[in-house]
A = this chain, B = another copy of it.
Amino acid sequence: MAFRQLGKYKHTIGYGISLAILLFILKWLQFRFVIIDHALEIYIGAIAVIFTALGIWLALKLARPKIETVVVEKEVYITPANDFATNDEELARLGLSKRELEVLQLIAEGLSNQEIAARLYVSLNTIKTHSSRIFEKLDVKRRTQAIEKAKRLNLIP
């Protein structure tokens, strides 16, 4: 709108009005009193000072602030907690069967052989057999070594 645009030239208008007023005052004084010629310098000096001030004021108002962008790096730690992916390649290479992997996981969870047997509805002997096979394929001597190696090789989470 016309009013909106007006706001944009606010300072320019202010400047123009100041000038007009000053000229009017000067004209008025000229007609009211006989101005002595050597007083002209005084008026001009006053005008110069006033409009210099006005110019300064304008400059400060119109000057665009210099925008400086500061990038702050914020460190975000990613915990790959739920992002485990079985190393299928290694699994295939070692030749662990699905059942064997299942038993291995339960071993790593801290279950005893008897507890694993109960969990999988098989006999203790079956679990012992699977354990032996697992140790063989992983080339380890005991369950703790099997756990350590399986985690290292990303066979279990």
Binding site for B on A (CB under 8 A): 15, 19, 22-23, 26-27, 30, 37, 40-41, 44-45, 47-49, 51-60, 63, 65-80, 107-112, 140-149
Chain B, residue nearest A80 (CB): B77
A16–B107 CA distance with the chains assembled, in angstroms: 89
Q: Looking at chain A's contact residues, is the secondary structure mostly helix, strand, loop, or mixed?
A: helix
User: Within the oligomer, what is the number of copies of this chain?
Assistant: 2
Is the pair A23, B41 in contact by a Cβ cutoff of 8 Å? Answer: yes
Specify which of B19, B27, B75, B110 is in contact with A74 (CB 8 Å cutoff): B75
Contact A52-B58, Cβ < 8 Å, known A72-B73, A74-B73, A108-B148 = yes
Which 5 pairs from chain A and chain B are nearest by CB? A55-B55, A59-B59, A110-B145, A52-B55, A65-B66
